[in-house]
Amino acid sequence: MPHPRSSPRLRPRPRVLALTLAGALGLVIAGGCASSTSATDSTGVKCTAGNYVFCRCQNREEGTKLCNDDGHSFGKCEPCETATNPVLPDDPNHPPVEVDGGNPDGPVTSATCGDKIVQDGEDCDDGNTVEDDGCDSTCHLSGTNPSTTRSCPGLDTHVWTKPVTYVGTTVGAPLNGSVSPNCKSDGMNPTSGAAGPDRIFKVTAHKTGNMTVTTTDTDYDCLLYVTQTCSTTAAVTYLQCAHNTIGVGGETMTFPVTAGQSYSLFVDGAGISKVQGVFRLTIAIQ
């Protein structure tokens, strides 16, 4: 007969039981809801606005979620969170582990390019080393004709503390959007924008402030505009436009942004003189 101390059935494991019960209770509280915001709001978990943190879904798959501007609620746990696979609640006694590390206004931390997690210091991260598909092997924007710039939602672009730059061309791009002449812009010259091809960028802000978008080194009649929702067919609300130069020349526009939010940026041709050409795009948040 084995000694009682050597039998695993006679050795209580209260810590494991407590963790199991706590996890089960967390799932009951979550109630199967697909949104992680209510769960994190109720626990009071703190995070750095605009940074990603690690998360885990009910099926135990891991992912990342973006800390919202309020500093305690999050976006979805990507890629695992669904209506039937909710995110597990955070532990209010332990701060979430941040992928990006540190304050978005602080020094840039080292990032691992190629892990499909966009971190501070990276413009993008598509997980491959292809140089001309929009995101190169150093996780910066690249390529003159990326397929993702040709349609919505656009090329995935992330702006942190440092400006993002991209050199490209609208030559070879489709004619997607058009903009009303009364789009909000100081001194904007009337134009439909429909005559010129355009490139589309899905720009995510990792800092609350004013985003400035500038095109330089252009050899055509450039037009810029930004919308909250990307659409090339339906009516949309224009947040800002810029067409203050008649003829060949660059443009600049500035508009308020919120950390964790994404915006649809169109680099278009005005259709007054030369409607397509090369450009250097710079995006920064102050």
Q: Are 146 and 136 in contact (CB under 8 A)?
A: no
Provide the token pair at 31. Answer: 């109630």
The pLDDT value given to residue 190: 67
**What is the rounded distance in angstroms from the CA atom of residue 192 to the CA atom of residue 251?**
16
Q: What percentage of residues in the chain have a pLDDT greater than 90? A: 36
| Pairing, β 155-159 against β 199-205 | parallel
Query: What is the pTM assigned to this prediction?
Result: 0.64
Taking all residues of the chain, what is their mean pLDDT, rounded to a whole number?
78
The pLDDT value given to residue 214: 96
Express each pLDDT in 21-67 by its tens digit: 344 434 333 333 333 443 344 456 778 787 788 788 888 777 788 88
Express each pLDDT in 170-225 by its tens digit: 999 998 877 766 676 666 776 666 678 999 999 999 989 999 999 999 999 998 99
Exposure letters 116-138 (e unless 16+ CB within 10 A, then b): ebbbbbbbbbbeeeeeebbbbee
How large is the average pLDDT for residues 137-153?
93
The pLDDT value given to residue 181: 61
The pLDDT value given to residue 247: 85
Provide the token pair at 92. Answer: 């209010």
Residue 107 vs residue 136, higher pLDDT: 136
Express each pLDDT in 217-260 by its tens digit: 999 999 899 988 888 766 677 888 888 888 899 999 999 999 98
Task: Give Cβ neighbours of residue 71 (< 8 Å, ≥ 6 apart).
Answer: 46, 47, 48, 49
Instruction: Examine the pLDDT at 11 and tell me if it is beyond 50.
Output: no
Give 32's strand partners.
none
- 157 conformational bin, left if phi > 0, alpha if psi -120 to 50, beta if neither: beta
The pLDDT value given to residue 194: 65
Instruction: Examine the pLDDT at 83 and tell me if it is beyond 70.
Output: yes
The pLDDT value given to residue 19: 38
Q: What percentage of residues in the chain have a pLDDT greater than 70? A: 73
Instruction: Examine the pLDDT at 20 and tell me if it is beyond 60.
Output: no
**What is the rounded distance in angstroms from the CA atom of residue 67 to the CA atom of residue 159?**
15
The sheet that has 252-257: what strands, in order across it?
164-169, 278-285, 209-216, 252-257
Task: Give Cβ neighbours of residue 135 (< 8 Å, ≥ 6 apart).
Answer: 123, 124, 125, 126, 141, 142, 155, 156
Q: Is 147-285 CATH 2.60.120.380?
A: yes
Indicate the domain borders of the chain: 15-99, 147-285
How large is the average pLDDT for residues 276-282?
95
Q: Indicate the burial class of 52 (C-beta count within 10 angstroms; 0-12, 13-18, 19 or more).
A: buried
Residue 175 CA from chain centroid, whole number: 24
Amino acid at 74: F
